[in-house]
Structure 1
């Protein structure tokens, strides 16, 4: 790592200016010198929870290439600190930075369960899969204490409503009892995010996530319990994890995964500057090479916002990744597919119990 001061346990190494703010803030060198002289920290890196009470909880997803129609996020911001996370930009809408604020200031939606129940009981609502979470991880560390995600799963079960899940935290194992009941009626599908098989890579890319060992164990336990589980290798980052595709797909297939998906890194909005700053401190020996390779994938830019190409990229590298996944699926996942979620039961459970007449 670079000799520049590196904040261990965090992904982003600084706060960047919020594009919606009228004023910009910066930490000046004289202030840093003062802190060093006085033995004080220039910034507090502890995580704080901020309670919120939104008016709605279900988000309609209009992007055509993310594979979901509706999402639900019990938390905004994410303590996992994944440096590449596209959701960082959403923190700016709340008045915070997409950098360290995204990891340190976690907004907790205290009325999430109440809002979900109200929606599922609505006469106008027709069942379609709702994804936990399309933006930030529903099993980030604070969930261990607050149990909002668990209560949401209980609500989906009560109303027999289909739910999908995306997480990189082994805490999901805590809720196996509810997941088994949902799976019995084909009401749940889980995606475990695994970016690398190397713990060293995981620690610097995703500093506060579950270990690779625990995530692989989670895939195996879910599969053994007949809970449909797939894996997302997202994102593929050139010169960091692209060489692991075949090995990772084989490993998760051996653990019982029904499928594997992927995206290629794109550094949209403020994330380009956050990632560039991070990689020059975390991987100075390869920083410029990685950034140039990302630009080559996206037509000379760190980001591509075009639907259809933004997730998979273009050019030689993107083609190689595409071919490797095609080969890996043929070798290790042939004839496997996840069952379609059941949207037919919910209408009979609108009031929380099965209608007899």
Structure 2
């Protein structure tokens, strides 16, 4: 009976299981594994009376390969600073419960919940595709963003090294790159990033949501601790790589009180810039986040969501450009002003310099003679 339950569990949990026990999701961010919004039906686990659900194994990280056809993703969003990006992985083992990329797993027929952080996809041909796309005579250079969807330095990067292979291509072609990550693993690639930064071709943003280790462990269960991220800022800046701290997201009544402390610590570690994003809860994330609140902060759940809605016109989320990142209303305005005043006091964001695009050397196309100089 237990074996049968395990077999059925594989089929049902990908759709919409509920009531997943804490020991089965230990080290994960999401509390449940609901079906994506494109699925025609949903299912949930039910004990057959033999207590067979107790025998089900914990969620384990599974990795599959994607034969991508293109690697550069374009966007025309007017409220973000880049128009192109590369995502080496789908899904993210860091397990941040608030991650705005979770709904993208629905396009794969998987759950934005536990599937997002345990069923991952890698793109092993990323560097090859990038070389080909940069060699296109019609390609126009602008800063390439890494880490705009899922973290390019999530734990599986240690083994698969897709992000490093991408950076090697960008370094050879002298292409500007901006990286956003929570991971200390970015220090591994200082040997690539430091020479690029010396030519004004690279910068890094380190995301720090909280300095509270207990809150970080439940919000971002498999991401490095806050002290490790501060150490990473120092290591990068000591190597001459400009670093911005990103407080993303700012969560009302949960971590907003830490704005000044996070910026103080990041400045002391060497950061020269700072940015923030107010909590975003599109699509399935609004339910996943509220489940997390009821599990980990039940005494604050109603207050947090009340403030969230006050910044989104009475709804859990408003996707309007220009407002989706910073919200609106009194609370959102207050967060913005506190952030601005703290940055001014610390001298953050005083120098804003675009990365260089004049050094770009496109890779040779197949059959093309290599340049002598």
TM-score range, shorter chain: over 0.9
- In the TM superposition, 1:21-40 aligns within 5 A as 21-28=39-46, 30-31=47-48, 34-36=51-53, 39-40=54-55
Q: Cα RMSD between the aligned structures?
A: 1.9
- In the TM superposition, 1:58-73 aligns within 5 A as 58-73=72-87
- Counterpart check, 1:207 vs 2:221: yes
Relative to 1, partners in 2 of residues 1:228 and 1:334: Cα closer, same or farther, differing over 3 Å?
A: closer
Deviation at 1:338, TM superposition (A): 4.3
- In the TM superposition, 1:130-279 aligns within 5 A as 130-279=144-293
Partners of 1:280 and 1:335 lie apart in 2 by: 37
- The equivalent residue for 2:321 is 307
Partners of 2:226 and 2:342 lie apart in 1 by: 20
Describe the superposition over 1:38-79 as per-residue Cα deviations: whole angstroms up to 9, x where unpaired: x402x6400100111111010001222122110100000000
Higher relative CO (Cα under 8 Å, sequence separation at least 6) belongs to 1
Describe the superposition over 1:139-193 as per-residue Cα deviations: whole angstroms up to 9, x where unpaired: 0000001111111111100111111100000000011100111112111110100
Relative to 1, partners in 2 of residues 1:354 and 1:161: Cα closer, same or farther, differing over 3 Å?
A: farther
Relative to 1, partners in 2 of residues 1:137 and 1:31: Cα closer, same or farther, differing over 3 Å?
A: farther
Describe the superposition over 1:186-213 as per-residue Cα deviations: whole angstroms up to 9, x where unpaired: 1111010001111111111100001111
SS at 2:314's partner residue?
coil
Match of 2:345 among 331, 348, 351: 331
Partners of 2:212 and 2:240 lie apart in 1 by: 27
- The equivalent residue for 2:364 is 351
Relative to 1, partners in 2 of residues 1:334 and 1:88: Cα closer, same or farther, differing over 3 Å?
A: closer
- Counterpart check, 1:121 vs 2:121: no
Unaligned regions of 5+ residues in structure 1, if any? none
- The equivalent residue for 2:301 is 287
SS at 2:245's partner residue?
strand
Q: Is the 8 A contact 1:258 1:338 kept in 2?
A: no
Partners of 2:370 and 2:190 lie apart in 1 by: 23
Deviation at 1:252, TM superposition (A): 0.8
Relative to 1, partners in 2 of residues 1:4 and 1:16: Cα closer, same or farther, differing over 3 Å?
A: closer
Relative to 1, partners in 2 of residues 1:313 and 1:143: Cα closer, same or farther, differing over 3 Å?
A: same
Q: Is the 8 A contact 1:4 1:281 kept in 2?
A: no
Q: Is the 8 A contact 2:246 2:274 kept in 1?
A: yes
Describe the superposition over 1:213-248 as per-residue Cα deviations: whole angstroms up to 9, x where unpaired: 110000011111110110110000011110011111
Match of 1:20 among 35, 38, 60: 38
Deviation at 1:356, TM superposition (A): 5.0
SS at 2:258's partner residue?
helix
SS at 1:345's partner residue?
coil
Relative to 1, partners in 2 of residues 1:218 and 1:17: Cα closer, same or farther, differing over 3 Å?
A: same
Q: Under a length normalisation based on structure 2, what TM-score does the superposition of the two structures give?
A: 0.90
Q: Under a length normalisation based on structure 1, what TM-score does the superposition of the two structures give?
A: 0.94
SS at 1:164's partner residue?
strand
Relative to 1, partners in 2 of residues 1:335 and 1:274: Cα closer, same or farther, differing over 3 Å?
A: closer
Q: Is the 8 A contact 1:73 1:138 kept in 2?
A: yes
Partners of 2:362 and 2:303 lie apart in 1 by: 55
- The equivalent residue for 2:12 is none
Q: Is the 8 A contact 2:20 2:32 kept in 1?
A: no
Q: Is the 8 A contact 1:61 1:69 kept in 2?
A: yes
Q: Is the 8 A contact 1:170 1:215 kept in 2?
A: yes
- Counterpart check, 1:47 vs 2:64: no
4+ residue runs over 6 A deviation? none
